[in-house]
Structure formats: structure tokens, C-alpha cells
Amino acid sequence: MGAETNVKLNIPEWSKEDRPRERLLARGPKAMSDVELVAILIRSGTPTESAVELARTILKQADNDLHKLAAMGHTALMRIHGVGEAKAMSIIAALELGQRRRDLTVADRPLITSSRTAFELLQPVVGDLSHEEFWLLLLDRGNRLLERIQVSLGGMHGTVADPKLIFGKALDRKASSIILCHNHPSGQLRPSSEDIALTKKLVEGGAFLDIAVQDHLIVTSTGYYSFADNGQLR
């Protein structure tokens, strides 16, 4: 478990170009990298690395993914050399405030009530493409959109959708359910045998993980096909 010690590189001692507080004041928070913002939270590094370097190490442990960082918890954070209780609590508190801020704006997130509302979110993204892409809608328990994510892209005749990647995205965002989507540049709305097999595989995988696959849409420039509407999610 990492213990906090008296360090030689507090923020006032950093070189001018390596002072994120000053950069934040000068340029605003939007101009800051994730590493710089975490460095401000933890305030100091260790005897051998600056706060920026320690922040980089912390983010690396979370695969540079803020959702994974938020899910780590204080025990996992304190296993990182140089991260004691105070630093861990600062990170956890900041990320929790960010989550609560997002939750306050939940009413602004689209509510998915039917295949049509899902289609209206996805058609502008993939409907007119000349190649296939696979996308996800991640939904919370209230069926509101958490995130719209591209999973893969391919050529004229297909794209690969990796179940591990799909459910990894859903688990990272703590989604309660997902809607699958891919486009058919040919304009053909009928699902292929590969589409049907993949959908069945993902429905079964989602049931195992308690993540419901609500629908799979095939989208073209003029319309869509819904697996749910056609009773093909069993």
C-alpha cells in the first residue's frame, strides 16, 4: 500500500512549464490534460517523481480511462506507490462530484422509448455512409442514453463486432442495457445470417452479464430494421 511521505517536488517547486495550476488559471480547465488535472488533485509527487509523473502513473493503472479510474476505489488507488489515503480520497471525491453533476442533467439525455427514437439518434451518424460501421447505444436503468459509441468500422460488405469489446464498453459505463446498430450501405434492410447469429450471441452474453440487449438496428439512408420489433431477440 503506497504511503505518502515528505516529497521534494511540491507544485511551487516545479519548473514554470510544468505547473498545471498556473496553466489552469491562464488557459482554463478545458485546456488541461487529464494528467494535469489529476496532478492538481494530488498536489505532490514522491521523492523520485513529480506530481505530474505520479498522475501519469495513476492514469496508466486505469488504462488512461476516467471511467475505470472512478471504479478503482481507494484500496486499489492506495496500492500505487506514492498514493496514500489523502490522495486517493481527493481523486475519488472529484470523480464523484463529476458523476453527480452528470446525474443532475439526466433529463437532458435522450430517453429511448422505441426503435424509432433509437433510429433517430443513429441514422444521422451511419445512414449515409459508404462503408459499414457498428455502433452501440448505452442506456441507464431509466432507458436514458449514457453514451453513443462506435465499436468498429469496415468495408462495403461488413464489419467486425467483438463481443468482448461491446460488453467491455457497457461495463465501463455501468450500462443497464444496450442497443446494437450497424448500417447497410447497399440499402438492404433484411438481416444476413451473420447478423442474426451475432445478435443471438450478444443477447445470450448480455443475459449472462445482466446487461439487456434491447434491440439491434440495421440502418440505411431511407429506413431501418429492428430485431426487437420483428421478434428476433429470443
Q: pLDDT tens digits for 205-233?
A: 999 999 999 999 999 988 999 999 999 98
Contact 44/7 with Cβ under 8 angstroms? Answer: yes
Name which of 2-11, 19-28, 204-213 the model is least confident about.
2-11
pLDDT over threshold 50, residue 52 = yes
Longest dimension (CA), the chain: 66
Q: What is the mean pLDDT of the chain?
A: 86
18 and 125 within one domain: no
Q: Looking at 43-146, list the stretches that DSSP marks H as alpha helix, in order from N- to C-terminal side.
A: 51-61, 66-77, 85-104, 115-126
Distances (CA, A) of 42 to 4, 21, 58, 113, 122: 11, 12, 10, 42, 40
114 and 32 within one domain: no
N residues, the chain: 234
Query: In the structure, what pLDDT confidence band is assigned to residue 105 with cuts at 50, 70 and 90?
Result: low
Distant-in-sequence, close-in-space partners of 232: CB < 8 Å, separation ≥ 6: 191, 196, 199, 216
Which of 47, 82, 104 represents a domain boundary (last residue)?
104
Angle formed by the axes of helices 34-42 and 20-27, nearest 10°: 120
Distant-in-sequence, close-in-space partners of 131: CB < 8 Å, separation ≥ 6: 153, 154, 155, 156, 159, 185
93 and 171 within one domain: no
pLDDT in tens, 154-190: 755 556 788 999 999 999 889 999 999 999 998 999 9
- Whole-number pLDDT of residue 27: 83
Query: In the structure, what pLDDT confidence band is assigned to residue 107 with cuts at 50, 70 and 90?
Result: low
- Whole-number pLDDT of residue 17: 45
76 part of a folded domain:
yes
Give the total number of structural domains in the chain: 2
- Write out the three cell numbers for 217: 438496428
Q: What percentage of the chain carries pLDDT values higher than 70?
A: 88
- Whole-number pLDDT of residue 7: 47
Mean pLDDT of 109-121: 93
Of 11-15, 71-75, 81-85, give the range with the top mean pLDDT: 81-85
Which of 86, 104, 122 represents a domain boundary (last residue)?
104
Q: Which domain holds residue 34?
A: 11-104
Query: In the structure, what pLDDT confidence band is assigned to residue 195 with cuts at 50, 70 and 90?
Result: very high
- Whole-number pLDDT of residue 156: 52
| Whole-structure pTM value | 0.58
212 part of a folded domain:
yes
| End-to-end CA separation in angstroms for the chain | 47
4 part of a folded domain:
no
152 and 96 within one domain: no
pLDDT over threshold 70, residue 6 = no
Of 78-87, 97-106, 155-164, give the range with the top mean pLDDT: 78-87
Which of 42, 75, 104 represents a domain boundary (last residue)?
104
Query: In the structure, what pLDDT confidence band is assigned to residue 106 with cuts at 50, 70 and 90?
Result: low
- Whole-number pLDDT of residue 204: 94
pLDDT over threshold 70, residue 81 = yes
Region for 35 from its dihedrals, namely left if φ exceeds 0, alpha if ψ lies in -120 to 50, beta otherwise: alpha
